[in-house]
């Protein structure tokens, strides 16, 4: 059988490596056939090009097995690419940056190791999905809410490590993770923060340690394989109230963001709202063909029509209040008055309880109630339908001001419409009171190769154009990860060279996820690293 | 003149180094005389031993000067020790870990570079004190509150880098800092997070970057010299209400902590309360001699007497509510009912406004209102009076439960009373809803050498005894920094060796604050670092 080879590795050496890996995890947990590997490819990137194809998938079941895998990879100089569930869709799915890498998939490590109802945290393994943790909380009868991502099939750890957004109060500034266990590139097991002290029960409750704190160093990086993580869970409040804010004019997004900033900074809203445009909401529940069969992107008049038909407006914000009923009522009145001061804007909400969230009809209202599902995945079929839908995310960060909202919208829309000839679907995620991530869903039909290529090419153009205006990505697809990091060029890209210096120190053979976040090991780059003093 | 020499540096070489430093900052900003250096010694550690004596102090005024200093130190292999204001009292003050280091004091870099009232942040240099930033906010007429430390003379950056506590809502989990500029050991200037992109205005509003986030790596470490930092400022709410919770029985601290955890986890209290014992409050306003002239620590009956006389109880919690008046009133009723369910416990508060905080008589009520002062420094004189007062902090972290509160209290009190023959002054700082830092103020008379030695010896004993029970320090005095870090021994102290590996990569000559947080450069340690795979 012909294998996809990583750089500088022979077929014979790779075959021996795979045999050794089979010895560690069992033959059934090393996959090499094209059919088996299909599931681990970028789901929207399977046309004629194969830059991000893996050699194999290995699925360990324990920390010790991961240690053994890492040791073999060091000996054989075979690059690994770690995934938890591998649902990083829109950013590359399970695919490795370096062709021929062996994917280490952690789905089999799927235990919820602990739920502490008194201190409100869980300890999970990387294979635990939002669905699994939610179910474990319910099964334990705990009155705790999980701040979850939009799609429940993702790994709690995997999503957190990629700075993935969640929406409840602990989603603000990615606040839920606390304390990790990590297998380092040399095979040693480290616990971060207070976990570095044997028997210390503050590991998952205090966010730092004595000395520098490593947790954020293991996020969006390739410095280790995270095998356990603490996740904070919020006590269920008396009242849960999803709220909606609807605007009918495209430029209303500016006063909406300014109002949202004020209400978030003063603590009235404390969670992660999403302000999304008409076509985002249309894609949740309809197909594009239902609305438009003309040439090019859907024009404004037609968008206005969809806005009215679906009653989603030109911009619709989802948000929620949590707390005692009296406080929620006070705050809702405040939110309503503040947004309705913008002419034409409407605000409504449903006062309910966390226990009722699972039964609410809107996926947004379930997600904000901590109940994971998969409904939003429907949007991927906007162009290609269920079989051929695909998307790539372009997601810059901006200060939370109306001025920035308009600037980012105009930049995204003009390039996506004019260069990719696609619709502009934009959602602004208010990651904290002061900044938002503009997730641009560039949706395409994967069976239409020119369209796919135009989508990716336009994203690359967006990376550089956004950087000219001072906007940088919060997360980047494999195909323009290097380009996105290159824009962070202050002082001759010293941040990247700083990351490289740390990479060289922690992983001298460069076996862990080389190229992730443009962090390349010395053997795969020219120069780089920090300069001598 | 005879200089204090660092390891492996000759007098002649050090003199040449100092001449070069004079060339950079001007002769007047390089201090070497014993009289000039006195201010930069540990203020409470100036008896017969001089392990932590500096060779000189150099005070640069710009980033470029710091770059030049770092380059000279690399050439000459002279260790530097960075301080901002150098007010790390109780943990070593300005003193370096390595005798003969040159202190880089950043007091002259004291500009508030920006206050953004719309996005609610400031950008400061390391010499900016809490006093300075507060005054700049007032001078600008901004309706913003500063989460400040207990003593206003400290540097905003310096305090933050040492994980120092502040008390307003942004003090929770050290939430205020966002985005740094750092001079690395090789002299390069790096900006973290979004700051790494030229012209990116999200530097001080979004807490991460693309790729791993380095901010926390520069806290409690010796990896760089932080020259700028963003600090979040909170919009002044309609209502500010300091509240007090008083308990008369020593064991009431257990239900107090359990209640505090519940009220913090459900969001009723969202700031950093302090639960402190009788003698802490007595030390704020009286001298020990007023209460006790017997042998040994003050006995319980006498503590009860003080508790009644000063009306502070055996435990008194300071906290505050911030928000709309209606919300504050609702929450105060809830706080009052919850704590008063503990028999004998009393709760009271003063509903006021942020604008009135500066005029409140209690320093705690000013501090929680964001108004820095120095009143609490009075406590240092509990034994020695103003002239000879001294203290050292022993500060372990614990999960926020009543069980842990009792365990930590009993451990601290028994050892401090029995081994050091000193009073037990304890304050539990609720750094988040799930954990507290037990700051044990070990106060002594600096003119009484046996008492000083007993205090330090007992702290060392506390380090190891606390670790046996799974409690680790959040911050440690120079004199037992290594011992404290040694307790974090999981997997053969891999966390320390991980930190060492990063140190070796970033600072191969080991010139930046060697030994800080037990991170020693290769030249000053045996072995260490990560093992080969």
- pLDDT value at A138 more than 60: yes
Averaged pLDDT, A136-162: 97
Question: B 23-52 residues with CB below 8 A of A?
Answer: none
Q: How far is B396 from chain A (nearest CA, A)?
A: 10
The pLDDT of residue A183:
98
Share of chain A above pLDDT 70, in %: 99
User: Is A471 considered catalytic here?
Assistant: no
Contact B327 A327 (CB under 8 A): yes
- Is the CB of residue B118 less than 8 Å away from at least one CB of chain A? yes
Residues of B acting as catalytic residues: 91, 474-475
Model pLDDT for residues A154-197, shown as the tens digit of each residue = 999 999 999 999 999 999 999 999 999 999 999 999 999 999 99
The pLDDT of residue B49:
66
Neighbour order of strands in the sheet with B80-83: B30-31, B56-58, B102-105, B80-83
Query: B433-466 burial, b if ≥16 CB within 10 A, otherwise e?
Result: bbbbbbbbbbbbbbebeebbebbbebbebbbebb
Give the contacts of B70 (CB within 8 A, at least 6 positions apart).
Answer: A533, B80, B183, B184, B185, B186, B187, B225, B511, B512
The pLDDT of residue B1:
65
- pLDDT value at A46 more than 70: no
| Residue A300 CB neighbours (<10 A) | 11
If you write DSSP's letter for every residue of A239-257 in order, what string do you get?
Answer: EEEEEEEEESSGGGHHHHH
pTM of the entire structure? 0.97
Q: Which of A169, A173, A532 lies at the smallest CB-CB distance from B186?
A: A532
The pLDDT of residue B46:
61
- pLDDT value at A58 more than 60: yes
Question: A 66-85 residues with CB below 8 A of B?
Answer: 70-71, 74-75
The pLDDT of residue A44:
86
Averaged pLDDT, A115-138: 98
The Cα B431–Cα A30 span in angstroms is 46
The pLDDT of residue A126:
98
If you write DSSP's letter for every residue of A347-401 in order, what string do you get?
Answer: EEE--B-GGGGGG-SSHHHHHTTT---SGGGGGGHHHHHHHHEEEEEE-BEEESS
Q: What is the mean pLDDT of each run of 10 residues along chain B (533 residues)?
A: 90 97 98 92 74 95 98 98 93 94 98 98 98 98 98 97 97 97 98 98 97 97 98 98 98 98 97 98 97 95 98 98 98 98 98 97 96 95 94 95 98 97 98 97 94 94 97 95 98 97 98 98 93 87
User: Is A475 considered catalytic here?
Assistant: yes
Torsion angle in degrees (nearest 10) through CA of A265, A271, A275, A276 = 160
Interface confidence, given as ipTM, is 0.97
Contact B491 A213 (CB under 8 A): no
Strands A30-31 and A56-58, bridge-based pairing: antiparallel
The pLDDT of residue B2:
81
- Is the CB of residue A213 less than 8 Å away from at least one CB of chain B? yes
Q: Are B475 and B438 in contact (CB under 8 A)?
A: no
Question: A 416-455 residues with CB below 8 A of B?
Answer: 431-435
The Cα A273–Cα A260 span in angstroms is 9
Residues of A in contact with B209 (CB under 8 A): 472, 488, 495
Contact B200 A470 (CB under 8 A): yes
pLDDT bucket at A49, cuts 50 / 70 / 90:
low
Q: Are B304 and B247 in contact (CB under 8 A)?
A: no
**Percentages (nearest 5) of helix, strand, coil residues in chain B:** 40, 20, 40
Question: A 222-281 residues with CB below 8 A of B?
Answer: 223, 232, 234-235, 237, 261-262, 265-267, 270
- Is the CB of residue A383 less than 8 Å away from at least one CB of chain B? no
């Amino acid at each position: 059988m012909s294998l996809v080879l990583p750089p500088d590795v022979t077929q014979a050496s790779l075959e021996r490596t795979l045999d050794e890996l089979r010895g560690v995890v069992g033959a059934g947990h090393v996959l090499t056939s094209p059919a088996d590997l299909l599931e681990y490819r970028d789901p929207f990137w399977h046309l004629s090009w194969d830059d991000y194809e893996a050699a194999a998938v290995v699925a360990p079941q324990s920390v010790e097995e991961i240690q053994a895998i890492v040791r073999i990879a060091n000996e054989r100089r075979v690059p690994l690419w770690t995934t938890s569930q591998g649902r990083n869709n829109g950013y590359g799915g399970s695919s490795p940056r370096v062709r021929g890498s062996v994917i280490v998939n952690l789905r089999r490590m799927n235990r919820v190791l602990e739920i502490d109802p008194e201190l409100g945290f869980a300890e999970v393994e990387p294979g635990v999905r939002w669905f699994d943790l939610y179910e474990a909380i319910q099964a334990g009868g705990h009155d705790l809410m999980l701040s979850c991502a939009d799609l429940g099939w993702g790994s709690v750890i995997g999503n957190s490590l990629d700075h993935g957004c969640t929406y409840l109060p602990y989603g603000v500034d990615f606040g839920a993770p606390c304390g990790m266990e990590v297998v380092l590139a040399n095979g040693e097991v480290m616990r971060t923060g207070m976990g570095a002290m044997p028997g210390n029960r503050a590991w998952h409750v205090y966010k730092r340690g004595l000395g520098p704190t490593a947790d954020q160093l293991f996020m969006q990086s390739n410095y280790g394989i995270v095998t356990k993580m603490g996740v904070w869970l919020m006590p269920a409040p008396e009242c849960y109230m999803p709220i909606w804010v609807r605007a009918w004019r495209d430029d209303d997004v500016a006063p909406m963001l300014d109002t949202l900033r004020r209400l978030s900074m003063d603590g009235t809203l404390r969670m992660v709202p999403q302000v999304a445009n008409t076509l985002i909401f249309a894609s949740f529940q309809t197909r594009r063909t239902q609305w438009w069969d003309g040439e090019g992107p859907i024009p404004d008049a037609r968008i206005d029509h969809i806005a009215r038909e679906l009653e989603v407006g030109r911009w619709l914000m989802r948000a929620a209040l949590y707390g005692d009923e009296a406080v929620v009522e006070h705050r809702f009145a405040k939110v309503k008055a503040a947004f309705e001061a913008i002419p034409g804007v409407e605000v409504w909400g449903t006062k309910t309880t966390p226990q009722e969230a699972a039964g609410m009809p809107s996926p947004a209202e379930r997600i904000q109630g901590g109940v994971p599902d998969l409904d939003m995945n429907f949007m991927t079929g906007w162009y290609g339908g269920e079989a051929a839908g695909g998307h790539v995310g372009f997601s810059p960060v901006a200060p939370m001001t109306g001025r920035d909202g308009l600037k980012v919208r105009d930049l995204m829309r003009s390039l996506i419409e004019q260069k990719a000839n696609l619709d502009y679907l934009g959602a602004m995620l208010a990651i904290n009171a002061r900044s938002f991530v503009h997730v641009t869903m560039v949706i395409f039909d994967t069976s239409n190769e020119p369209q796919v290529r135009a989508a990716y090419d336009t994203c690359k153009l967006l990376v550089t154009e956004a950087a000219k205006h001072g906007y940088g990505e919060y997360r980047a697809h494999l195909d323009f990860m290097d380009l996105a990091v290159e824009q962070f060029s202050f002082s001759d890209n010293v941040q990247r060279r700083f990351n490289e210096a740390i990479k060289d120190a922690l992983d001298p053979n460069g076996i862990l996820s080389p190229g992730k976040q443009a962090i390349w090991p010395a053997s795969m780059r020219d120069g780089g690293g920090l300069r001598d003093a």
